[in-house]
Amino acid sequence: MGSIRTTARATDSPVPGLTVVAGGVVVAMIVSWLLPSVSALTAAVLLGAVVANVVTLPPSLAPGIKLAGRRLLRIGIVLLGLKLVIRDVLALGYGVLAVAVAAVVVTFAVTRWLGRVLGVSDGLSLLIATGFSICGASAVAAMNGVREQDEEDVAKALGLVTLFGTVAMFSLPALFPLTGLSPAGYGVWAGGSVHEVAQVVAAAGPVTGALAIAVAVKLTRVVLLAPMLAAVSIAERRRFPDAGKRPPLVPLFVVGFLVMAAVRATDLLPDVVLSAATFVDNLLLAAGMFALGTAVRLRSLVRSGLPALTLGLLSTVLIAAVALSGALLIM
């Protein structure tokens, strides 16, 4: 990857880099097992960042890390569709669905506008808006697959979504007694505003009766990933009249995501297959996150400065406020 610090010319073999990535994934899975509130994806991003900032990565690792950060990550996003139980999403009712959709649309649109006001680069604000409104790090990576950004911007977005997602994970349970929400209403709030699925579980778990609805609301936001990516891809095609520079109308991995969601909806796959697919998906996504984490440079994140940090804070507060308002209205 272009931003990896190197000392000599890289070889073409992906094996060395994939070996390091595999080691990072194993450690991330162990961390997630020991600390259930920390998803393997979050742990993988952090581990990749630590490795890249502590040691100088040799050039022989670059091909394998690049493979994990692109191809393996996109396969993981395709398999993510198998985690969506459309029936459970529809069972929430129109009011809850409306809250989830409003949280995503309002947060994405307003974050993009705030990014322009604060002077944050267009690419970085797009990644922040996507990650904060949909599903955290995996949404950042998926959007980068549609409209590829500078690796430094990807790293900054991953760092910010991890930081503020963690803040939200601890803040919402502390604020719950002050909201007047029922446990079900709190589930709508947590699922509608916290960034990562694992963070939603951690935020909703302390409130009895909130977890199931929180996860279902969160998955509703994940469903909206595909149409958002398709919309951005269509907008990109309009920006580039030259057919050679246009992205596909709908990226192939987005089509795969939708196909997997449709397969899950048939209820034809046995539980053992779904469990295996979920395990493999977690491995692939963690591999991609570790690879993306190696592009994180602490100095670069600090240099992103107050505008990017302010945008992340405002976006987090915004989606929490929209989801809370909706939960108070319908529950």
Residue ranges of alpha helices (H) inside 38-93 are: 40-54, 62-67, 73-80, 86-90
Instruction: Give tens-digit pLDDT for 191-226.
Output: 999 987 767 877 887 788 887 788 778 878 888 888
Q: What percent of the chain has pLDDT over 90?
A: 34
What type of residue sits at position 222?
A: V
For 231, other C-beta atoms within 10 Å of its C-beta total 13
Average pLDDT value for the chain: 83
* Predicted local confidence at residue 185, as pLDDT: 92
User: Whole-angstrom Cα distance, residue 323 to residue 172?
Assistant: 12
Task: Report the distance separating Cα 41 and Cα 82, nearest Å.
Answer: 17
Six-digit token pair at 65?
């890390």
Write out pLDDT tens, residues 15-25.
999 999 999 99
Give the phi and the psi of residue 27 in degrees, each rounded to 5.
-65, -40
The pair of structure tokens assigned to 203 is 């935020």
Distance, in Å, from the CA atom of 37 to the CA atom of 168, rounded to the nearest integer, reads 12
Asked whether residue 259 carries a pLDDT value surpassing 60, the answer given is: yes
| For residue 314, pLDDT beyond 70 | yes
pLDDT of amino acid 132: 95
Between 58 and 300, residue with greater pLDDT: 58
* DSSP codes of every residue in 219-284: HHHHHTHHHHHHHHHHHHHHH--SGGGPPPSS-HHHHHHHHHHHHHHTT-S-HHHHHHHHHHHHHH
Confidence (pLDDT) at 6 = 42
pLDDT tens per residue across span 290-304: 887 787 666 666 666
Q: Specify the pTM.
A: 0.71
- Percent of the chain at pLDDT above 70? 88
